[in-house]
């Protein structure tokens, strides 16, 4: 993918908070404070970096955030860097590609490094779905006499343009029901997939897989992801009622990702940037791609995004040994796996978002850092990190083991 005039880009280190559930342990934490925590932690973990020299080494801070309507509204990347008491000379920007926001942040950072614009980028993302505000739109006329309606900015469509086709603006759950109908995915497969996610995530925590990837939030009693259910089974999940359809429905709270709070971030750099950070590379970013399709089939967009990213990296699915696919819903995840025709055992080996959680803006660098650590430990040469994105998009990044 990278031409001769471009330099290689590596992932050096990643960290995240444990993910809290909506209204749970992290609901009292501002999103800019969560973002500051992962930034401060990464700075502390880089032996070559200090608050004094960070302004000379870090080229830019890029964060993803899907809401942007609450306490994170004034460019949360910039606010978090300043809250960390780091040099004001480092620029920062915030990206919104909904669920793919922080992976987009990493891609944007990788592009800068590849082009030689800088040697080091701190990329990440944050979301507090607990603290997403209710919004009141301004009126078209002053002094309206009618009642005004608040809109919940936590998730999904709101303040919809009346010109938007109605089939595009269905709920995410209804969209998933339509997708699973198109691809023939039944309730039993979804519940089994969801139970596997909980089982693997619980095991990963017990085995210490996430110890180097997470930092606890000070003053909060949360030492692992809050929505993991270790005892979840397909049989238990089968007893849950469907949420989006009263008849012929399959999507439940048990086979969909929950709503969450959390932050994540990674160090990206060139070979020279890694020397400045004092860190060894985990993986090389070998390719990336975005794809788009009809908004109601958003869950299927990772298929083409990943295929394009692999083509740009010059490899095929037969060479891939590890995949991190963000589990927005079990049905959409299974549709993607079926399309790729890959061994499901290489996918989300430490659990996925159905168990771990999906704080929208933070999930992209969560899957990226998890994949990098998995590959570092397992020795797999090639891996793919990918997410579906509301309104019909997908993002994917291909990684090559640096060791």
Catalytic residue among 183, 198, 336, 388: 388
Sign of the torsion angle spanned by Cα atoms 287, 292, 298, 300: negative
336 given a catalytic annotation: no
User: Alpha carbon 169 to chain centroid distance?
Assistant: 22
5 given a catalytic annotation: no
Pairing of β 10-16 and β 60-64 = unpaired
Catalytic residue among 5, 198, 336, 358: 358
Q: What is the Cα–Cα distance from 253 to 190, expressed in whole angstroms?
A: 11
What's the token pair of residue 228?
Answer: 């993991």
Per DSSP, 254 falls in state S
Q: What is the Cα–Cα distance from 290 to 305, expressed in whole angstroms?
A: 5
End-to-end CA, the chain: 20
Contact between 196 and 345 (Cβ < 8 Å): no
Q: What is the Cα–Cα distance from 395 to 290, expressed in whole angstroms?
A: 5
Contact between 22 and 228 (Cβ < 8 Å): no
Q: What is the Cα–Cα distance from 132 to 328, expressed in whole angstroms?
A: 19
388 given a catalytic annotation: yes
Contact between 224 and 26 (Cβ < 8 Å): no
Contact between 48 and 275 (Cβ < 8 Å): yes
User: Alpha carbon 252 to chain centroid distance?
Assistant: 21
Catalytic residue among 99, 183, 198, 336: 99
Q: Among all residues, which ones are annotated catalytic?
A: 99, 358, 388
């Amino acid at each position: 993918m990278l031409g001769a005039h471009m330099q290689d880009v590596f992932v050096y280190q990643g960290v995240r908070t444990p993910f809290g559930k909506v209204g749970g342990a992290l609901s009292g934490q501002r999103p800019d404070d969560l973002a500051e925590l992962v930034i401060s932690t990464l700075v502390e973990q880089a032996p070559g970096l200090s608050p004094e020299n960070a302004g000379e080494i870090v080229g830019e801070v890029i964060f993803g955030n899907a809401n942007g309507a609450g306490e994170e509204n004034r460019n949360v990347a910039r606010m978090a860097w300043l809250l960390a008491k780091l040099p004001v000379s480092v620029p920062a920007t915030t990206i919104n590609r909904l669920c793919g926001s922080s992976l987009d942040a990493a891609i944007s950072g990788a592009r800068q490094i590849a082009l030689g614009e800088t040697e080091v980028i701190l990329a990440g993302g944050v979301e507090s779905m607990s603290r997403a505000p209710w919004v009141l739109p301004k009126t078209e006329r002053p002094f309206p006499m009618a009642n005004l309606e608040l809109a919940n900015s936590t998730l999904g469509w709101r303040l919809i343009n009346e010109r938007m086709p109605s089939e595009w603006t269905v709920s995410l759950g209804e969209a998933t029901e339509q997708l699973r109908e198109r691809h023939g995915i039944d309730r039993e497969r979804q519940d089994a997939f969801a139970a596997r996610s909980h089982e693997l995530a619980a095991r990963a925590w017990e085995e210490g897989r996430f110890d180097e990837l997470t930092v606890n939030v000070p003053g909060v009693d949360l030492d692992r992801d809050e929505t993991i259910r270790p005892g979840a089974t397909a049989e238990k999940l089968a007893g849950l009622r469907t949420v989006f359809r009263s008849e012929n429905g399959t999507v439940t709270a048990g086979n969909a990702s929950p709503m969450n709070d959390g932050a994540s971030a990674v160090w990206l750099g060139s070979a020279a940037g890694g020397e400045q950070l004092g860190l060894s590379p985990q993986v090389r970013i070998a390719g990336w791609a975005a794809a788009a399709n009809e908004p109601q089939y958003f869950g299927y967009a990772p298929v083409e995004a990943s295929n394009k990213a692999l083509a740009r990296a010059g490899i095929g699915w037969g060479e891939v040994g590890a995949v991190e696919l963000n589990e927005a819903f079990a049905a959409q995840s299974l549709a993607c796996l079926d399309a790729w025709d890959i061994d499901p055992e290489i996918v989300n080996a430490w659990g996925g978002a159905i168990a771990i959680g999906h704080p929208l803006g933070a999930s992209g660098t969560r899957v990226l850092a998890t994949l990098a650590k998995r590959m570092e430990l397992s020795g797999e040469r090639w891996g793919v990190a990918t997410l579906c994105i509301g309104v019909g998009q997908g993002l994917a990044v291909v990684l090559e083991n640096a060791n």
